[in-house]
């Protein structure tokens, strides 16, 4: 999913402080010993159709698991690990992104 669209979607699954709401889960993928393209291909073959694959403002791969309890998260993490993909569960995420404007000035804005 395009980064801006993924960020907007994440905002709907988080509270105003960026904490992931309890009924949802967010995983950060640790891409090691493979390309991001290969990791995305492998992840796409494992996750459910309702899960969303995207990237944060630093281009790190994230997986949003809507309506997924802790037991379900552990199952997904186990399947990913069995395919060589390490993940970390996030409880919160920054809902700001850095935007570079004309003149190389930068600002932060809430998305």
Domain hosting 91: range is 3-110
Model pLDDT, residue 109? 44
More confident residue, 84 or 7: 84
Are 92 and 18 a contacting pair, CB within 8 Å? Answer: yes
Residues contacting residue 11 through CB under 8 Å, at least 6 positions apart: 95, 111
Q: What is the CATH number of the domain that holds 33?
A: 3.30.70
Query: pLDDT value at position 103?
Result: 54
Decide which of 75 and 96 is more confident: 75
Residue 77 pLDDT class (50, 70, 90 cuts): very high
Q: At what angle do helices 36-46 and 70-82 cross, to 10 degrees?
A: 130
Query: Mind spelling out the 3-state secondary structure of 25-92?
Result: EEEEEECCCCCHHHHHHHHHHHCCCCCEEEECCCCCEEEEECCCCHHHHHHHHHHHHHCCCEEEEECE
**Higher-confidence position of 57 and 47:** 47
Q: pLDDT at residue 14 above 80?
A: no
- The whole model's pTM is what? 0.75
Per the structure, how many domains does the chain have? 1
Average pLDDT rounded to a whole number, residues 79-91: 92
């Amino acid at each position: 999913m395009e980064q801006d669209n993924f960020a907007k979607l994440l905002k709907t699954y988080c509270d105003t402080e960026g904490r992931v709401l309890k009924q949802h889960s967010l995983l950060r993928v640790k891409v090691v010993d493979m390309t991001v393209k290969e990791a995305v291909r492998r992840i796409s073959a494992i996750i459910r159709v309702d899960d969303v694959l995207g990237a944060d403002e630093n281009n790190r791969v994230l997986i949003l698991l809507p309506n997924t309890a802790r037991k379900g998260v552990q199952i997904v993490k186990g399947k990913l690990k069995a395919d060589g993909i390490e993940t970390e569960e996030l409880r919160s995420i920054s809902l700001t992104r850095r935007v570079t404007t004309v003149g190389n000035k930068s600002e932060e804005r809430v998305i």
